[in-house]
Amino acid sequence: MVNIIACLPIFKYIRNRTPVMKIRAIGLVCLGMSLALPLQAGQYSADWRAFIKVVDEEYPFFDLKGIREDWRAAKPPLTKRAEACANDEEFLVVIRDALDCLRDGHAGFVKTRVPVPKQEAEFCLPLALMPADGKRVVVMSAPVGSPFHVGDEIRRIDGHPARNFLDTNGEALWRIGGAFSSPQRARLLAYRCPLRAREVTEHVLMIATANGEREIRLKNDRASQGWAHVYNMPPDLQRADGDCYYKKLKGGAGYLYVRRIQGDKTTRGIRSALESVPDAHGWIVDLRGNGGGGYDENLLQVVREIPRPVAVIVDAGCMSAGETLARDFRQLAKARIFGEKSAGASSAKRNWDFPGGIATVVLPTRSRSDDGKPIEFYGIEPDVEVEAVPEEVASGANSEILRAEEYLATRKY
């Protein structure tokens, strides 16, 4: 956009001139402004060409994710939009849509010359759901006053078997593209933010009851933002540095929930937990919903030192450095991993600047690995797949923690 602030001295100059000189000066300003728009449009075109060149040549996961043809098909309409842009905001929207085509949890903006326009609001059911054993679906969280309760089994949604319905929605999200690196991460969104859409509509859910089923009509009117990460957490957790929470469970095992990884803070937090429960009969490290963060050698040393046996819990909410931490617990602490595949969003990255200065974006360069297999897309595979058991959830228990406790109980200390 033309910089009006930069034109203020010219306007002051014009104000003090004779009428004839004013007319001439205004004409020159108008001519300059008319020339500036085509020049700016040309810069968008040049920026776009530079962007798709670096993506074409350097993005490492087209074949891993099977999206090379999707990207090739997306480029012509994106190019047409980029070349038609009249301002920074329009161009940044095109870049955002292009990044979504990469289906990458790390590709995104680092900084921009102007704010990126907000996306159109989306809504979802005021519930968080999760897949349950026996191909079932269970309520993970519900607001106070809701007709649903944690542990309720959802049988059908809008006349369709709930499990098939949500799995199909997850597959559709993956095909559309977005800021997720794997089908399991897209599926997580389908469960945690169910019936996500731009329109508010009413839906029919059938829940299991002692005598059969009960119908509940519900609107998807909750703003779709974040999602629940865990359910039925152990009560009275103690908080330590680095978003670490811990306690000694009744069975004697230590429990440690690590929400984020914050370098030395997390190292201190884990050490504090281990020192506070010195007589733990092994440790459960819960990494569900871990959003990643900073990682260093000091944290690796804590992983090596944790008293064994160790059980780690992951799900598709565990991403980036959280996945690396799960891998390192497996390799360095001989941990057994429970739960579901992690997010598959773990890669080395670099910042790339648009030549015209409109933005800096982060682009992945290579995947980290787990025993030689890429973590990107595949995620960390659990040793023991665990889905929630509705009956356990309804009683206030956490099925994944129960399975981890049962494992630790069988180990020799």
Predicted pLDDT at 133:
97
* CA–CA dist 311, 333 (Å, integer): 10
Higher pLDDT, 371 or 27: 371
At residue 353 the predicted structure's pLDDT band, cuts being 50, 70 and 90, is: very high
Q: CB neighbours of 26 closer than 8 A, spacing ≥ 6?
A: 14
**Which domains are delineated in the chain?**
14-112 (3.30.750), 123-223 (2.30.42.10), 238-344+379-410 (3.90.226.10)
* CA–CA dist 70, 381 (Å, integer): 27
- What is the three-class DSSP state of 127? coil
pLDDT in tens, 190-223: 999 999 999 999 999 999 999 999 999 999 998 8
Predicted pLDDT at 5:
42
Predicted pLDDT at 17:
60
DSSP letters spanning 171-210 = HHHHHH--S-SSHHHHHHHHHHSTT-BSS--EEEEEEEET
Whether residue 90 is predicted with pLDDT greater than 90 in this model: the reply is yes
* CA–CA dist 66, 94 (Å, integer): 22
At residue 413 the predicted structure's pLDDT band, cuts being 50, 70 and 90, is: low
pLDDT in tens, 272-325: 999 999 999 999 999 999 999 988 889 999 999 999 999 999 999 999 999 999
By percentage, how much of the chain surpasses pLDDT 70?
90
Q: Is the peptide bond before 131 cis (omega within 30 degrees of 0)?
A: no
Please provide the average confidence, as pLDDT, over all residues in the chain. 91
At residue 224 the predicted structure's pLDDT band, cuts being 50, 70 and 90, is: confident
Q: Is 34 exposed, middle or buried (0-12, 13-18, 19+ CB in 10 A)?
A: exposed
Q: Compute the residue count for the chain.
A: 413
Predicted pLDDT at 228:
85
